[in-house]
A and B are shown apart, each in its own frame.
Chain A
């Protein structure tokens, strides 16, 4: 292997695996639900709701695609139950993406420098590091997409049918990883086939159409469960509806404002939906989001980190110019069509920005920036003064290094302070304490209403209590039930519900864990307070009170 690529992979590996168990500072509700489902699958073959080998996993106000949970189940089986296991698949595939991008770029542009630059940018990009260090399933799809298209390019260039088969296999599996890949990969394949139709036809002519039919049959077999469940499973349909742009409150308000008595009202309402989709689609290219604060790592407005380094913006522009001017007609079309298609999932969903749905676009922008780096180097080479050349190179490296340092500070230092609440910190500590204390009480009540500045209901408290309390999934499957109190769920000795001091203050031998939003702490005898739980920024999150 190319030694430079190896160095880049090592850098990428370091950035993904360094203190992986500690940063992010705690498993968020998605991660804890996924790992608990993975354990449940490994131990019982069922998810925590008792469904046997489900195609889609019910999560917290959401449904999860199956691939990541099953692969985590495999990791749990291999490495045992450990928090970091849930992050391993994302970190591993995030690291593997570096060579995948390298080979794809090299196959596409036949330029080693561009491929190395693209690999380096993939290794150090904020979005890549951020999403590779949490259990995000989309990253695996990005890897499989790059792998698939690299093989596809290699297949048509070297005329090897075997590679075509493996590429289709990779892309098919990629469709299982995340809903946005399910939507985009077929369109991308179609676009690829149209762009390279002559080469594909030539390859098939050479190898014979019988092989193609065999490959398509295998492909159909792999994809048939996906197609079947996508079309028939009501949970999948529900999931699609809940994230569709029609859920956007601004669109709803706008539709409500229109005067229904007007004959043109329904036309205008439909126009509103279409305009919102178009606007959301284009909004994903907002520089403030891409290079400013798109990763939402802080509460400090523009001071944060975008998915891409700001210092890459000039290189991105140069890269686009270079590609437009180049003779790579097919390659150019492929890259731009890929970007346009991959932006669709963000365009049709209700969130204003959803970087997790367009990861692949960021990777493609990195490839364009890599082209820009080559173009930049060419321009610098034209300078007559050696000193000027040296200054320019060093300045570019300095700015990029500064950008990296800035992101790493934001990610490792500021992000935990700023977003500990959104990571549901300190639910882990609460769960560990509650589990340790439960034998001393008749019941443990946990009210997940909490917040630094305003009350919000923390999600997935049952997963935290189950996972950190080492509650066997089989027990949850049999005991988990809804209670009679406001938002109450019950299992084991735990009651997760709204705690109302006026009603519940006279309960006996009960451990209550609730926030200052639910407890009149001044009225409570300090001796009854067993423990105080803090957010990462030292604000009080919960009290444990013995009744």
Chain B
């Protein structure tokens, strides 16, 4: 390691160089990935907010937003809106989030300064973050995870660097709390713990500050649970271990079998009861550290399309294990304390079962990167060169996937339907009817590609928990329970139906159909019907 000269790097410029490297890495295949419906909704919402201050439901500067599965906290949408003040541009959105991703690499470097003496090792930790397939992917799409990584790293950095700035810590803390519900459980523990671990002499003097932070978090949570459906939202999305039906049924089944075999009633009750959520939660949280997530294939989140890659480059397993060995044997106590941070990050994972939160795994990446950098102390120069070489090689190979059949056939990010959605939005007609069973959640895409943005719906919905839009401006969707009728007053001149929905056309009407769109992977066709219809309930 000593043979490497670092004199060519001016230390002041290192953060900038790291930022540029991470940024450039993320520019490769910048059009990939195609946005998911949820991301398209956020982009379109951001544009609406920037333009009019209203969201897709016509609400003025709301504090809770709609998503397909849950309420969404406000910060992501408003941050996206900030990026769209100049107009709707996918490139600007991508570059904005790429900046967040690149900033995470810089923050990792800055935090590593506290733990690593060798400048080259600090740079290496930032490089590992820069080349992380998961963080590269999430740096190109609007998501809370990549911002939360920055929030958490900023907090750690602010605490580690004296004199610490209470106002800045408070602001970052509040930012995080308004960004992600995972932050509600992480930040109130992370901040005091980081102080206790790394600046123990200051702890006594800032206990009131901790109390204030906790109070802030409690206030936000309290405001949230005042909202209708909020308890249900938490139960269905964040604290699923308590509501998971398979656990409840399992307990009853196993207990019943004991009773059937005449086991004394107390034993099955003692063994199988509600307290089982404790070991289950513990196991679930500990399984966030399963090595195949990081160095194998990360495939538990269908929304994340990193193909055969893990969260980190596969080859990083070598310095990572060496780093763990270093921490167990030769590290100082400060360095060892670093291991406590990932444990805090997986606290929300204790309550979320059986799903995993990708956000939490993203938080672990920078800490694992620093641990891997410790490992480089144990390796010789040739090994280091080889590892960096493999890391770059894996990145190059992964860069080929977006051009293969893998991407085209992903229904969650239907890139092959982009031109269709665009053509629909471009149609110069007044009104269009489309079968909604063609694609699960197409309204956000139609909004995304429309030239003049229109509110998705004019319905007055103050608290849209799991609200699914079925209308956008002049485009109406035909759902399973809506029927068509022959209509003379303001009919829809363009009607696009799937084969299943052809049955909805009243029998007395003659119509012609022509194949309009076909998608072999979806195995569905849309037929353009040459007759004019209305929806029956209109």
Contacts and interface: CB of A to CB of B under 8 A. Distances in A.
Interface of A: 254, 257-259, 262, 264-265, 267-268, 271-272, 275-276, 278-283, 285-288, 291-292, 298, 300-303, 310, 313, 320-321, 324-325, 402, 405-406, 409-410, 413-414, 417-418
B287 interface: yes
A259 B283 CA distance: 39
B404 A286 contact: no
B254 A303 contact: yes
A325 B284 contact: no
Contact of B254 (A279, A286, A298, A320): A298
Contacts of B329: 324-325
Nearest to A264: B400
Given A259-B405, A283-B296, A409-B267, 5 more contacts: A254-B308, A272-B308, A275-B309, A300-B253, A302-B283
Contacts of B210: none
A310 B279 contact: yes
Interface stretch (B256-264, B456-464, B498-506): B256-264
B44 to A, nearest CB: 30
B354 A302 contact: yes
Nearest to B261: A413
Contact of B400 (A268, A282, A325, A418): A268
A405 B258 CA distance: 13
Given A257-B406, A264-B400, A310-B283, A278 B296 contact: yes
Interface stretch (B94-102, B268-276, B421-429, B486-494): B268-276
A282 B292 contact: yes
Which of A320, A321, A413 neighbours the largest number of chain B CB atoms within 10 Å of its CB?
Answer: A413
B286 interface: yes
A267 B397 CA distance: 9
Interface string B333-355: 00000000000000000000110
A291 B257 CA distance: 22
Interface string B137-174: 00000000000000000000000000000000000000
A303 B325 CA distance: 34
Nearest to B290: A286
Contact of A300 (B246, B308, B408): B246
A292 B283 contact: yes
Closest 6 CB pairs of A and B: A300-B250, A279-B296, A259-B405, A282-B292, A275-B308, A324-B328
Interface in B396-424: 397, 400-401, 403-406, 408-409
Which of B272, B292, B408 neighbours the largest number of chain A CB atoms within 10 Å of its CB?
Answer: B292
Contacts, number: 129
A272 B251 CA distance: 39
Chief secondary structure at chain A's binding surface? helix
Query: Size class of B's contact patch?
Result: 35 or more
Contact of A291 (B283, B309, B324, B409): B283
A253 to B, nearest CB: 10
Contacts of A298: 250, 254
B333 to A, nearest CB: 14
Nearest to B328: A324
Contact of A409 (B253, B271, B287, B403): B271
B239 interface: no
6 contacts: A262-B404, A276-B308, A278-B296, A325-B328, A405-B267, A413-B263
B247 to A, nearest CB: 7
A310 B285 CA distance: 13
B378 to A, nearest CB: 12
Contact of B283 (A264, A267, A279, A287): A287
A320 B456 CA distance: 56
B287 A286 contact: yes
B338 to A, nearest CB: 15
B381 to A, nearest CB: 23
Given A257-B405, A257-B409, A325-B328, A301 B246 contact: yes
A258 B307 CA distance: 11
B404 A265 contact: yes
Interface in B291-341: 291-292, 295-297, 308-310, 314, 324-325, 328-329
B412 to A, nearest CB: 14
B249 interface: yes
A417 B261 CA distance: 10
Contacts of B511: none
Contact of B295 (A267, A268, A282, A418): A282
Interface in B362-416: 397, 400-401, 403-406, 408-409
Contacts of B325: 324
Given A283-B292, A302-B283, A310-B279, A278 B314 contact: yes
Given A283-B290, A288-B287, A414-B258, A302 B296 contact: no
Contacts of A302: 246-247, 250, 280, 283-284, 353-354
A80 to B, nearest CB: 31
Which of B260, B276, B296, B325 neighbours the largest number of chain A CB atoms within 10 Å of its CB?
Answer: B296
A285 B291 contact: yes
Interface of B: 246-247, 249-251, 253-254, 257-258, 260-261, 263, 267-268, 271-272, 276, 279-280, 282-284, 286-287, 289-292, 295-297, 308-310, 314, 324-325, 328-329, 353-354, 397, 400-401, 403-406, 408-409
Given A257-B409, A301-B247, A321-B328, A268 B279 contact: no
Contact of A410 (B254, B290, B297): B254
Contacts of B260: 417
Contacts of B408: 259
Nearest to A409: B271
Contacts of A409: 254, 258, 263, 267-268, 271
Contacts of B287: 286-288, 292
A287 B354 CA distance: 14
Contacts of B263: 409, 413
Contact of B258 (A265, A303, A413): A413
A271 B308 contact: yes
B297 A276 contact: yes
A275 B309 CA distance: 8
A277 B195 CA distance: 42
A406 B286 contact: no
Nearest to B410: A257
B257 A287 contact: no
Contacts of B354: 301-302
Contacts of A417: 257, 260
B328 A313 contact: no
A287 B254 contact: no
Contacts of B247: 301-303
Contact of A405 (B251, B271, B283): B271
Contact of B297 (A275, A287, A288, A313): A275
Contacts of B282: 310
B286 A300 contact: no
A280 B310 CA distance: 12
A228 B354 CA distance: 48
Contacts of A280: 292, 296
A300 B249 contact: yes
A409 B255 CA distance: 10
Contacts of B405: 257-259, 262
Nearest to B321: A336
B43 to A, nearest CB: 28
Contacts of B251: 303
Contact of B292 (A271, A286, A301): A286
Contacts of B292: 279-280, 282-283, 285-286
Which of B250, B257, B272, B276 neighbours the largest number of chain A CB atoms within 10 Å of its CB?
Answer: B257
B267 A288 contact: no
Contacts of A286: 287, 290, 292
Nearest to A336: B321
A271 B254 contact: no
A413 B295 contact: no
Contact of A303 (B267, B272, B324): B272
A318 B272 CA distance: 28
B58 to A, nearest CB: 41
